Amino acid sequence: MRVLGISDAESRTAWDTVAAILHLGNISLTPDGESTKVSSISKGSVDSAAKLLGVSATELSKVLCERAIAAGGQVVKKTLTSEQALFARDALAKAVYGRVFNWLVTRINQAIKPAEVKGYKGTVIGVLDIYGFEILDTNSFEQFCINYCNEKLQQLFIGKLTY
């Protein structure tokens, strides 16, 4: 990262954020009557994720177990079911990861200065995962779309290599 001009502080923040995402995945959520709570065995993961993200563990736990609904100028909090809370946890991890990834791609492009390449227009860095279809108990529609796109991209690249 230093070669790309990313400061030690920025690099540390990126790694801390990735570590926080991994800790989020270790947080278990359990039913608590009509609502959900963070499992007591997840206290260490909540504390670690919160510290790495720079928020309080109490607030992180709240965010994972309830949502805020703005209606008529007021904010109403609604508790989530266990299933909704798991989706919220995963959505938070995915959103944070997406931002770190986009930040890193932007920084790489700034470092290699694609605008200075004569006659080239467009993105310089790209990522292609051509591993193929994963065998999971349940594949979401989103995963299906990603896998389908990957297969088509693989065919495109292999087609170009064989000519």
Task: Identify the pLDDT of residue 52.
Answer: 96
Task: Identify the pLDDT of residue 98.
Answer: 87
pLDDT digits (tens, 9 = 90+) for 117-147: 666 665 555 555 555 555 666 667 777 777 7
The pLDDT confidence band at residue 56, using thresholds 50, 70 and 90, is very high
The string of DSSP letters for 47-98 reads HHHHHHHTS-HHHHHHHHHEEEEEETTEEEEEEPPHHHHHHHHHHHHHHHHH
The pLDDT confidence band at residue 163, using thresholds 50, 70 and 90, is very low
- Answer yes or no: is pLDDT of 157 > 70: no
- Report helix, strand and coil shares of the chain as percent, to nearest 5: 60, 10, 30
Task: Identify the pLDDT of residue 60.
Answer: 94
Task: Identify the pLDDT of residue 162.
Answer: 44
The pLDDT confidence band at residue 53, using thresholds 50, 70 and 90, is very high
Mean confidence (pLDDT) of the chain:
81
- Answer yes or no: is pLDDT of 46 > 90: yes
Rounded mean pLDDT, 101-127: 70
The three-class DSSP label of residue 100 is helix
pTM: 0.70
Which one has a higher pLDDT value, 104 or 121? 104
Q: What percent of the chain has pLDDT over 90?
A: 36
Question: Six-digit token pair at 65?
Answer: 């177990």
